[in-house]
Amino acid sequence: MAIEATTATRILAFALLTLLAGAGTIGPAAAQQWPTRPVTMVVPFPPGGGTDVLGRIVGQKLSETLGQQVVIENVGGAGGMIGSARVAHATPDGYQFVLGSRADAINQTLYKHPLYDFKRDLAPVILLADQPMILIARKNLPVDNLQEFIAYVRKNQATLRSGSAGIGSTGYVDCALFNQTIGVKVQDIPYRGGGPALADLIGQQFDYFCTLSPTAVPPVEAGLVKPIAMLSPKRLPSLPNLPTADEQGLKFEASTWFAFFVPRGTPAATIKKLHDATAAAINTPAVQERLAGTGSFVVPIEHQSTAYLESIIGPEIEKNGAPLKAAGLSIE
């Protein structure tokens, strides 16, 4: 009986070791096979804004390069923080990733209690594109250029209202800094995204709006809103007649970068596959042409590495936090 018990114990121990060894290979094997089903790109703003436009253009091509459908899910709120937090706390298997942006860096300082730690909870994949900010106004605002706009706002600031894609959005922050630069205080109406805000600006429900180029270009071209200034160093090819703020006598620049992030702990092999598939997608001439038409510009190839994106996160938090602290902008 003792021999039989010893044999049974050895068989049980061997079976247990075999099971544990097999379990240890599940993670890497799954990472090598990823993706075996559709993946979800969380866009942390509602449909219709610059972030959403970028995500849908890239997502369509990414579905082809990955060989699996990329499902776009808009999860808006808190200047993009709700959507990013969802991915930050998701299972780190690569099946959810977020179209993050400069808003993530802003939120780490703007909010006293952010819902995630940008550096700790999200792993970088690839930097995608930049979008310049554009200052636009309701169509019947009685100004024709930036200097007239500044004079009008200074005179009527008590009754004027600006709009934004939400508290914490890049447009919210940039418009607040713009107002501070020209020495005015104007009430802001925070919407749940650039699309809803644009609809109300077209309807003349408020007076002006700092927004990303993909949101601004179509209504400007259609004559639905009044363009005031490009808040970027250079004019936009799709709006060649719109001067920059610098050309109109004001030193003020604003733009936003966009990138993919996954939950920290996602296997390196999965991150590399997503990176490589995304790089193939954004470097396709047809995709670059579509993005350029909206005012989005794919970053140079030398800035598309995961290591490069990792290297800029800390500095971006510091760079975007400094003017917020100086302006006293803070949200509970």
pTM: 0.81
Percent of the chain past pLDDT 70, that is, above it, reads: 91
pLDDT for residue 15 is more than 80: no
Q: Per-residue pLDDT averaged across 309-324, rounded?
A: 92
Q: What pLDDT was estimated at residue 324?
A: 81
Q: What pLDDT was estimated at residue 116?
A: 97
Q: What pLDDT was estimated at residue 57?
A: 97
Q: What pLDDT was estimated at residue 4?
A: 46
Q: What pLDDT was estimated at residue 43?
A: 97
What domains are defined for the chain? 38-130+256-327 (3.40.190.150), 132-231 (3.40.190.10)
- For residues 67 and 24, what is the distance between their CA atoms, to the nearest angstrom? 27
Span 121-178, pLDDT tens digits? 999 999 999 999 999 999 999 999 999 999 999 999 999 999 998 887 889 989 998 9
Q: Using CB atoms within 10 A of its CB, is residue 19 exposed (0-12), middle (13-18) or buried (19+)?
A: exposed
Q: Per-residue pLDDT averaged across 86-92, rounded?
A: 98
Of 101, 68, 106, residue with least CA distance to 87: 101
Strands 187-190, 39-43: pairing is: unpaired
Span 223-268, pLDDT tens digits? 999 999 999 988 998 899 999 999 999 999 999 999 999 999 999 9
